[in-house]
Structure 1
Amino acid sequence: MSSPRNRWLVLLAVMLAFLPVVIDMTILHIAVPSLTLALGASGTEILWIIDIYPLMMAGLLVPMGTLADRVGHRRMMLTGLLVFLVASVAAAFAPTATMLIAARVGLAFGASMIMPNVLAIIRQTFEDSKERALALGLWGTVGSAGAALGPLAGGALLEHFWWGSVFLINVPVMMIVWPLAYFTIPRRETTATGNWTIGQALILIAGLIATVYAIKSGFKPGSSPLATGASLVGGLGLLAWFVRQQMSSAEPMLDLSLFSRPAISMGMIMALVVCGSLAGVELTVAQELQFVVGHSPLQAGLFMLPLVIASGIGGPIAGFAVGQLGLRNVAAVSLATAALSLAGLGFSDFHNPGPGVVALMVALGLALSIGLTASSIAIMSSAPPEKAGVAGSLEGTGYELGAGLGITFFGVLLASSYSGALRIPVELASDLPVSAAYSIGETMIAAEQLGPAGQPLIEAARSAFSNAHGMVLLSAASLIGLLAVAVFIALRHYKDDAVTAGAH
């Protein structure tokens, strides 16, 4: 089928549909201090409030993407937009941390119905490879800038409204997006083959969530090794069962042969590591700026503005750069630049940022945006049109699983570094609960309850957190630096693979 005449309007519709999904990945990072104090949430509850959204999506994206290939991408996306709208209202007015976690599960269901179809519709709408690269570059702009815009939008809302406003903002956006998508996105006949059974989908979802839960709980202090081990073995067993089902089936639900293409497999790994590192870094920096430096939520969001602007520029540049320099070079150089930027931020003083920190934020936003957009171009160009939904869902899974595991990994690393560095004043030690040393949020709650006598505890907490944040940023830099080398090696034959894929 040739590209529809209104293809750029279709692109606008799917980009607007994707914007709230991606903003919701990061908008809560800036709201953590407000949420902690308003709901009296523990450090563990805060991690789950942030984490449950990407982790549920990681389990749901592939089943939803493969289902969309069979029932239609347009229908699935329109349904997902409605689910996301209802869940946003429920999250905004959640009275407790538990209710907010439940509402975030609903948001994940809606988002998992939207995300794979955005990429699938772009893949099917733009037949010309140069136009497709440009369209994916513009999509990458929305993805990168939206994720970076989250903290700024959250800060602006929290300056004037209560924490629930960060969810309620989705409502007017959805009221515009739904009719636009309904009238512009064309109906297409579905050509995908293979079975889609709810049983196989549930096995995949349960396997992913059980495995991730085991990793999360295994890092917690005082966790049960027996329960963690049982969850890990059960999760991996379910995933192995799912893989065996797909490999033995003549028409599998998920075509695992897609992973044999280096562009798709490395794109997944890039999404996993980069999104994990970025989520961990944003969460760390947002808490540093508010709890330690003393910025308001809006000031903290403005601090990250250079990252937002640079991320918005990177997408279109990536589409052009890949055509001129090749995917391998663009991806490897952008990742290496991101690693150096993170290392520089790890040694920076946020109390007196100066132009050096602004330059590092710009370099980080530009590099990550270009790198992730380049991986999207490779994945979606290597996938046949009839498998666009599952290819989009695989990429989305990398983003969500990376963000979820990144928050867990870096959150635990931050907590352990913080607890080790915290020196509680001797005269206050007997008056504090044990949990006061678990996170800076819980330390601040304990200090607030002590009144003026808690000021020495606040100073100790700030000093400990400043020491801990450097560890997180340098760890993220190391991971992305190693990934740059891996990508450069793995994609050495990418051009040959791209030609082969195009012949499919």
Structure 2
Amino acid sequence: MQPNPWLVLVAVIAAFVPVVVDMTILHIAIPSLTVALEASGNQVLWIIDIYPLVMAGLLVPMGTLADRVGYRKMLLLGLGIFTIASIAAAFSPNAPALIAARAALGIGSSMIMPCVLALVRQAFDDDAERATALGIWSVVGTAGAAIGPLVGGLLLERFWWGSVFLVNVPVMAAVIPMVAVLVPTQRGNRQTAWNPWQALVLVAGLILTVFGIKSGVKDGLHASSAAALIGGAAILVWFGWMQVSSRNPILDLSLLRKPAIAVGLLMAFIASGSLAGFELVLAQELQFVLDKTPLEAGVFMLPLVGAAAVGGPLGGRLASRFGLRAVASLSMAASAASLLAISFTDFGRHDYLVAFLLAILGFALGVGLLASSIAIMGSAPKESAGAAGALESTGYELGGGLGVTMFGVLVNSIYRSSFSGPSAAPQGATHSIGEAMAAAKDLGGDMGTSIADAAKTAFLQAHGSVLILVATMIAILALVVFIALRGAPAADHH
């Protein structure tokens, strides 16, 4: 009996939702989690980052492994790991344990994600139906990321920070039997080449590099951070060389010779990085500086994430109407302009203006992400579509992970140099606003109040400076995109 493709789609999307929600739900929980686990600024960045970094490194090899063993088997295994890791994360006694659990969540997600798209492609033979199914998938993806902060806020109103992970367990209890029943078993292709070593080299290179950046900015460049940076960069160069010289590379870097693909990847990287990094800083500012509850912060962020969810699907129409070059470069320019405007706006006084600017930023980045996808997939030869897709999804995940790193590291370092609290303030208070708020809570009284006030002032200064810096970078990217996409087709190629 032929399985109903729409039922397969329902099961697959149900498996996909917790993975996307997990990418953003944590941003809202960070302030309460920082205080509860007494996590340092660096540990906070690792808690968030380790998930997309591990996932980015493993997406491609897990995809090829799924080709070998069959998608249903791989999907069920990924869902199982994701469930166990969610329980471990919820009950983590300290920051290192939570970082380890988040890494395990990344492994589970990297097994789930490639199977989702492969099963959607397999289930639908009809091109029009498949396009509809992929459209539903992308809307659910952006909507899932959009409701993450809101779900996080709702949970934290009632429960402790671990609830943002524990919520995955009842969801998975429904999803796993659904996948087992609705998704057909298919035989894998044993001939598919699989080399996990290249993936491990990529993950090692990324983690060392990120560690080098974080510890270097936190404590100044010393021997260990310099060694990590140089070692990480060397490993990444070696990975690149392996991709170019290997007979079956996990990432086909030769595709980057096409300017449209290279620029598309750069856009995916910067747009997803800006969105993730900005969301994290915004969630901290709303809760630590403006004293909003997690739920109020989640609602405040809705224009940003909601407009990003709308921008994605509309981006395709805009690109086919006005041409990719115009849409891609304008979306980047609008992102830069709105970030610049946000950096000069007082969140406490002008909340309607901020909501409007957040909506513009979200919409522009959503359109930019879709334009990057069109640039990559539209310029890749048919036989390299899988390789181009792998390159694109790796770009997204890496952008998200490294965006959080860059925003976090820059904010913390400017915060440190601007912090002018009482000289008797504990050492940690000068490192990050999270540590300062935890110290203020412990000390209480006048001392606690003056530490909290100094931290808020320093954080606002850091936040403003970083936004100006990122806006400048995106404005330069808009120019690069405009120049590089000279030869891009002006009309539809969907």
Measure how far apart 1:8 and its partner are.
4.4
Give 1:489's match in structure 2, choosing from 467, 483, 487.
483
Correspondence 1:266 to 2:263: yes
Correspondence 1:145 to 2:139: no
Give the Cα–Cα distance (whole angstroms) in 2 for the partners of residues 14 and 487 of structure 1.
Answer: 35
Give the Cα–Cα distance (whole angstroms) in 2 for the partners of residues 336 and 66 of structure 1.
Answer: 37
Q: Match of 1:494, SS?
A: coil
Contact 2:69 / 2:190 at 8 angstroms: preserved in 1? Answer: no
Amino acid at match of 1:495: P
Measure how far apart 1:108 and its partner are.
0.6
Give 2:450's match in structure 1, choosing from 441, 447, 456.
456
Q: Match of 1:15, SS?
A: helix
Contact 2:217 / 2:413 at 8 angstroms: preserved in 1? Answer: no
Measure how far apart 1:299 and its partner are.
0.6
Amino acid at match of 2:427: V
Measure how far apart 1:157 and its partner are.
0.6
Contact 2:268 / 2:369 at 8 angstroms: preserved in 1? Answer: yes
Per the alignment, residue 170 of structure 1 pairs with: 168
Per the alignment, residue 86 of structure 1 pairs with: 84
Give the Cα–Cα distance (whole angstroms) in 1 for the partners of residues 325 and 125 of structure 2.
Answer: 23
In structure 2, do the counterparts of structure 1 residues 324 and 214 end up closer, same or farther at CA, with 3 Å as the change threshold?
same
Q: TM-score, normalised by structure 2?
A: 0.90
Alignment of 1:46-445 (within 5 A): 46-123=44-121, 134-186=132-184, 195-224=193-222, 226-380=223-377, 390-425=387-422, 429-430=423-424, 432-445=425-438
Measure how far apart 1:183 and its partner are.
4.3
Measure how far apart 1:86 and its partner are.
1.2
Give the Cα–Cα distance (whole angstroms) in 1 for the partners of residues 380 and 187 of structure 2.
Answer: 18
Per mean C-alpha deviation after superposition, the further-off stretch among 125-134 and 486-495 is: 125-134
Per mean C-alpha deviation after superposition, the further-off stretch among 113-122 and 189-198 is: 189-198
Contact 1:141 / 1:369 at 8 angstroms: preserved in 2? Answer: no
In structure 2, do the counterparts of structure 1 residues 172 and 322 end up closer, same or farther at CA, with 3 Å as the change threshold?
farther
Contact 1:134 / 1:316 at 8 angstroms: preserved in 2? Answer: no
Give the Cα–Cα distance (whole angstroms) in 1 for the partners of residues 486 and 14 of structure 2.
Answer: 35
Q: Match of 1:31, SS?
A: helix
Q: How many residues align?
A: 492
Contact 1:124 / 1:388 at 8 angstroms: preserved in 2? Answer: no
Give the Cα–Cα distance (whole angstroms) in 2 for the partners of residues 241 and 124 of structure 1.
Answer: 35
Measure how far apart 1:43 and its partner are.
1.6
Amino acid at match of 2:354: V
Per mean C-alpha deviation after superposition, the further-off stretch among 234-243 and 35-44 is: 234-243
Contact 1:419 / 1:437 at 8 angstroms: preserved in 2? Answer: yes
Contact 2:57 / 2:199 at 8 angstroms: preserved in 1? Answer: no
Contact 1:70 / 1:192 at 8 angstroms: preserved in 2? Answer: yes
Measure how far apart 1:282 and its partner are.
1.1
Amino acid at match of 2:62: M
Give the Cα–Cα distance (whole angstroms) in 2 for the partners of residues 390 and 68 of structure 1.
Answer: 15
Correspondence 1:17 to 2:50: no
Give the Cα–Cα distance (whole angstroms) in 2 for the partners of residues 327 and 292 of structure 1.
Answer: 40
Per mean C-alpha deviation after superposition, the further-off stretch among 296-305 and 115-124 is: 115-124
Amino acid at match of 1:441: G
Per the alignment, residue 465 of structure 1 pairs with: 459
Measure how far apart 1:189 and its partner are.
6.1
Measure how far apart 1:365 and its partner are.
1.9
Measure how far apart 1:492 and its partner are.
2.7
Deviations 1:315-364 (A, max 9, x none): 32223333333333322222222222222211111112342222112222
Per the alignment, residue 478 of structure 1 pairs with: 472
Deviations 1:1-45 (A, max 9, x none): xxx994444444433322222222221111122111111212222
Contact 2:150 / 2:298 at 8 angstroms: preserved in 1? Answer: yes
Amino acid at match of 1:68: A
Measure how far apart 1:210 and its partner are.
2.4
Give the Cα–Cα distance (whole angstroms) in 2 for the partners of residues 51 and 29 of structure 1.
Answer: 11
Deviations 1:196-215 (A, max 9, x none): 22333333332332233323
Give the Cα–Cα distance (whole angstroms) in 2 for the partners of residues 237 and 451 of structure 1.
Answer: 47
Measure how far apart 1:389 and its partner are.
5.1
Give the Cα–Cα distance (whole angstroms) in 2 for the partners of residues 333 and 179 of structure 1.
Answer: 45
Give the Cα–Cα distance (whole angstroms) in 2 for the partners of residues 349 and 377 of structure 1.
Answer: 36
In structure 2, do the counterparts of structure 1 residues 76 and 332 end up closer, same or farther at CA, with 3 Å as the change threshold?
farther
Measure how far apart 1:368 and its partner are.
1.7
Per mean C-alpha deviation after superposition, the further-off stretch among 253-262 and 276-285 is: 253-262
Deviations 1:198-255 (A, max 9, x none): 333333332332233323332221452x323332333333333333334334344443
Contact 1:65 / 1:392 at 8 angstroms: preserved in 2? Answer: no
Q: Match of 2:26, SS?
A: coil
Q: TM-score, normalised by structure 1?
A: 0.88
In structure 2, do the counterparts of structure 1 residues 211 and 152 end up closer, same or farther at CA, with 3 Å as the change threshold?
same
Amino acid at match of 1:286: A
Amino acid at match of 2:36: A
Measure how far apart 1:301 and its partner are.
0.7
Deviations 1:372-396 (A, max 9, x none): 1232344345557776554443222
Contact 1:154 / 1:166 at 8 angstroms: preserved in 2? Answer: yes
Measure how far apart 1:151 and its partner are.
1.6
Measure how far apart 1:125 and its partner are.
5.2
Give 1:37's match in structure 2, choosing from 35, 41, 44.
35
Per the alignment, residue 28 of structure 1 pairs with: 26
Give the Cα–Cα distance (whole angstroms) in 2 for the partners of residues 373 and 33 of structure 1.
Answer: 31
Contact 2:83 / 2:168 at 8 angstroms: preserved in 1? Answer: yes
In structure 2, do the counterparts of structure 1 residues 437 and 253 end up closer, same or farther at CA, with 3 Å as the change threshold?
closer
Per mean C-alpha deviation after superposition, the further-off stretch among 194-203 and 281-290 is: 194-203
